[in-house]
Amino acid sequence: MIAELGLLISLQETDIEIKRCNAEVASLPPRREAIEQGFAVSAKEFLDLKTEFDTAMAERRQLEADVAEEQAKMEKFKADLMKATNEKQYTTAVREIDATKKTISTLETEIIKLMEKTEKLEAKVNERSPEIEAKRAEVDSQIAAITSSVEADRQKLASLTEERARLIAQLTPATRATYERVARLKSGVALAEARDYSCTACRMTIRPQAFNDIRRGENIYECENCGRILFFKLEVGVE
Ligand SMILES: [Zn+2]
């Protein structure tokens, strides 16, 4: 067999592996997204509950901050009352104190309602947490597993690309052009095995004379029908 045919077979194997690695790398974001989507669906009820709890808690904290603010005002009005030197100042301070007391009382009523609500929600959240955490851990480990497998392929791509360049450099320009042209037309697979007097890719029958030529591997022979470069497996000793 001519050396070029051996090189082409190695190049084909390298290209197929490059293609597989590229597909794996490209598949990572959608696969990860699908796993996350699956988790989001199974955890939706819980996540809604959690959002409701977080919202109520935020509302409660806001009202508590409002109360603190009103209490600070109250202190100021009480000081105003102490400092009052006339009837008008006195009346104003008393009115402000009353109004602030009412505001605080309204806020505190709201806070109590929210406390009841947040306590109930918290109990529900806590009850379902272990189940969701277990699911989340499972999802995380699934994602970690596919990420590390894809990372291995990503690293492999670097050495495959070097290997491809090394093989390509050894081909004659004509053979290289033929390979690249057929590969482009045939989804990256430029070679086909010739077996039992036919092309295994397109099933076209190969004339006995041509088949014998291919078996000897002394030429780059393209399938008359599909144009793929034909090779004979046993004779070239490819596994
Ligand atoms: Zn063919």
Neighbouring residues of 180: CB distance < 8 A, sequence distance ≥ 6? 190
For the chain, how many residues are written? 239
CA of 206 to the centre of ligand 1 (A): 9
Residue 234, pLDDT score = 66
CA of 216 to the centre of ligand 1 (A): 18
Q: What pTM did the predictor assign?
A: 0.66
Residue 237, pLDDT score = 47
CA of 160 to the centre of ligand 1 (A): 27
Query: How would you class 233 by CB atoms within 10 Å of its CB: exposed for 0-12, middle for 13-18, buried for 19 or more?
Result: middle
Which structure tokens are listed for 8?
């082409």
Neighbouring residues of 17: CB distance < 8 A, sequence distance ≥ 6? 156, 160
* Tens-digit pLDDT string for the chain (239 aa): 788 999 999 999 999 999 999 999 999 999 999 999 999 999 999 999 999 999 999 999 999 999 999 999 999 999 999 999 999 999 999 999 999 999 999 999 999 999 999 999 999 999 999 999 999 999 999 999 999 999 999 999 999 999 999 999 999 999 999 999 999 999 999 999 999 999 999 999 999 999 999 999 888 899 999 999 999 986 444 44
Domain 7-169 adopts which CATH fold?
Answer: Helix Hairpins (1.10.287)
Q: In angstroms, what CA-CA distances link 99 with 82, 88, 95, 104? A: 18, 16, 6, 9
Delimit the domains of the chain by residue range: 7-169, 173-236
CA of 18 to the centre of ligand 1 (A): 23
Residue 239, pLDDT score = 44
Q: Which of 135, 141, 190 is nearest to 15 (CA)?
A: 190
Q: How far apart are CA 230 and CA 13, in angstroms?
A: 14
CA of 141 to the centre of ligand 1 (A): 45
